[in-house]
Amino acid sequence: MKHQHSPRYTRAEERANSLTHGVGTVLAVIGLIVLIVCANLYGTTRHVVSCSVFGAALILLYLISTLYHAVFHQQAKALLRILDHSAILVLIAGTYTPITLVNLQGVWGWWLFAVIWTLAIVGIVIETTRLRRYRKVMIGLYVSMGWAVVVAVRPMLHNFGHGGLWLLLAGGLAYTGGIVFYLWHRLPYNHAIWHLFVLAGSILHYFAILFYVIP
């Protein structure tokens, strides 16, 4: 397997990359505030904490991504690239947190929660080593973590509802579909297009949690 080197983008492309996730950062901050307020009003401490983890993970991913694409200093960019890819793992685990701890609970909830966060930690460790060069392996890890929910479809239908599950699946399809553009390096502004798919996936998952996790 060949090593995957950092893709080269033009300054205009990097501005577009930074702008798209800059918008995501603003939306994530607003979204976290709304989640905390609603969880405080209608939920329990478990709702507040788990939804805060999800909202904070959103902010982390979009803020780091914005900074990564905004800077051109090579050493700073290399560090931010590691943080950027690690933040993807944190967001996947953060998205599962309110669903597993509030809706599923029990054996399924705690088992899925433990597996996803363990995989996230393993992935972050990999990102700090030379193994991170094998991007296709890491992409496989992202996708596997993201779709791990399929092993719990029945309890999800019972505890999360059809509407919530459809939003969750639609968000997963948005994230997964965007990978085509992420890997399409010859397409101008491919990464900015990928960012739009990520935004769509985050928005769909956000509403799944807002409407189907918080009572």
pTM of the model: 0.91
For residue 4, being part of any structural domain is answered with no
| Structure tokens that stand for 32 in this block | 């976290």
Q: Does the annotation list 158 as a binding residue? A: no
pLDDT tens digit sequence for 110-136 = 999 999 999 999 999 998 888 777 777
Q: Among 32-41, 121-130, 165-174, 185-194, which is the least confidently predicted range?
A: 121-130
pLDDT of residue 7: 65
Confidence grade of residue 1 (pLDDT, cut at 50, 70, 90): very low
For residue 1, being part of any structural domain is answered with no
User: 162: domain CATH number?
Assistant: 1.20.1070
Q: Does the annotation list 185 as a binding residue? A: no
What's the domain range around 63? 11-212
Q: Does the annotation list 47 as a binding residue? A: no
Domains identified in the chain, total number: 1
Measured CA to CA in angstroms, residue 144 lies from 20, 77, 86, 157, 159 at distances of 25, 27, 15, 20, 22
